[in-house]
Chains A and B, each alone.
Chain A
Amino acid sequence: MENKETFEENLKKLADIVLELEKGDVPLEKTVELYGEGVKISALCRNQLESAKIKITEEK
């Protein structure tokens, strides 16, 4: 899954989607769209988290 966003940005996006959905006055089409996106981003976050490897750089 190719994605330029950082984990933190994606987590923020996911949180925003959840808050939008929880407002409850979203049209049905938008609800389905948001839900789909939420599922996608949460999978992305999980993937980013599990595949992350610490990057170590040394000051020269």
Chain B
Amino acid sequence: MPVITVTQVNKYIASKLKSDRILQGIMVKGEITDFICHYKSGHCYFSLKDKESTLKAVMFASAASRLKFQPEDGMSVVASGSIAVYERDGVYQLYVNDVIPEGAGKASVALEQLKKKLAAEGIFAEEHKRSLPYMPKKIGAVTSLSGAAVQDIINVLSRRYPLCELYTIDALVQGEAAPMSICQGILKAEAAGCDVVIVGRGGGSSEDLSAYNTEAVARAVYNCKIPVISAVGHEVDFTLTDLAADMRAPTPSAAAELASPDISQLREYINGYERRCEKAAMAAVEKKLGTYNSLSAKLSAQSPENRLKLMEERLANLQNRAETAVKRNFDRCSAQLAEKAAKLDSLSPLKVMARGYSLVYKGDDLVRDSADLTVGQEITLRFDKGTATAEIIDVNGE
């Protein structure tokens, strides 16, 4: 017979158990005992026991963190998971991935079934969801008037949208009579002429939300003729009311915000309209003024004064041109005159005499030929400057 190691034995048994499908994905009913949550890792170790037997169980931190309640010794639960071997210690145990309190198990199954049924009827259908009115005049609130929810709603609405009326309807939010009370509240809000209704309650994760998970309330929300905002006050779980409502809010305050426009936005609307009003009016006036100005300019261009002025301008212009032309002509003429005078001057006999020539006169006649003269005849000599009388002594012909 071959000898094998402890490890081999445990490995073999582990593989045997793992391959047994009956031991995988099972739900085990029992009472919790020796519950320990390891403070550092968050892993939980406990045993499940019934009258005759106990079973070791371990729940890792990832699964334990998803639990909605704190498991304690003595609690009757249904744990789901798989059986496997912890090879180091040679023990088999239940590796738990979820634990539900035993009583709650049945309820949660029933709730799932109800959810499926209502979903099949279209109670949760997206196309049935209505949009919320932007500026509701009257907002209904179906909740416990002794709870914090109603004050939260009042606070939010006073700050954001004080123009509205809040119609509060007292309703029981837990206990056996709660579903009926909530249904009636919804009908009352509808009958009172509310534009939108908030259905909900304040509270934390441990609150009893069962009233909001009843078929009656889900149907009342679905059948309500005005939009419904659910505010059941639970961050994680969606109740049937949440699913049936037109809008889901995590808290009553958030529901009030969803139900109302913000006053600062309304102010902005008014400002915007005012600016546009002013701009459009200014533009209209400006446009008309422009037309007036252009017409008026055209008209004044045609006025007698203006035409006279134009003519005066033209006259002045012509005058100016005439003067210029006359002056130019005059200048040209005087230049010509000066030139001619200079020429004339250079030809003057006086100029010639200035160079030393003299003229000879016989009486008044200028002598050009010596043949005209006789000896003893008296002649007059004319110099550049002055005259002299002389007597001919001799005449020579050329």
Q: Interface residues, chain A, CB within 8 Å of chain B?
A: 6-8, 11, 14-15, 17-18, 21-22, 24, 26, 28, 31-32, 34-35, 38-39, 42, 45-46, 48-49, 52-59
Contacts and interface: CB of A to CB of B under 8 A. Distances in A.
B163 interface: yes
Contacts of B274: 14, 38-39, 42
Contact of A57 (B168, B270, B277): B168
Interface in B64-84: none
Tell me the interface secondary structure of chain B in the complex.
helix
Contacts of A22: 276, 280
A28 B223 CA distance: 53
Contacts of A56: 154, 165-166, 168
Contact of B284 (A7, A8, A18, A28): A28
Closest 8 CB pairs of A and B: A21-B280, A35-B281, A38-B277, A52-B162, A59-B169, A55-B165, A31-B284, A42-B274
A30 B278 CA distance: 14
A45 B121 CA distance: 45
Contact of B277 (A6, A21, A28, A48): A21
A53 to B, nearest CB: 6
B159 to A, nearest CB: 9
A22 B272 CA distance: 13
A56 B167 CA distance: 6
A34 B287 CA distance: 16
Interface of B: 135, 137, 145, 154, 157-158, 161-170, 185, 188, 192, 263, 266-267, 269-270, 273-274, 276-278, 280-281, 283-285, 287-288
A3 B333 CA distance: 95
Contacts of A26: 284
A41 B185 CA distance: 38
Given A54-B164, A55-B166, A58-B168, A49 B281 contact: no
Nearest to B269: A11
A32 B157 CA distance: 38
Given A6-B137, A42-B270, A58-B145, A31 B165 contact: no
7 contacts: A11-B266, A15-B273, A26-B284, A49-B263, A53-B162, A56-B154, A59-B170
Contacts of A8: 135, 137
A42 B288 contact: no
A22 to B, nearest CB: 5
B229 to A, nearest CB: 17
A49 to B, nearest CB: 6
Contacts of B270: 11, 14, 42, 45-46, 49
A6 B138 CA distance: 13
Given A22-B280, A28-B285, A58-B168, A48 B163 contact: yes
Contact of A59 (B137, B192, B284, B285): B192
Contacts of A49: 163, 263, 266-267, 270
Contact of A14 (B135, B164, B277): B277
A58 B168 CA distance: 5
Given A7-B163, A14-B277, A21-B281, 6 more contacts: A8-B137, A24-B284, A28-B284, A49-B270, A52-B163, A53-B158
A6 B263 CA distance: 15
A38 B284 CA distance: 15
Contacts of A48: 163
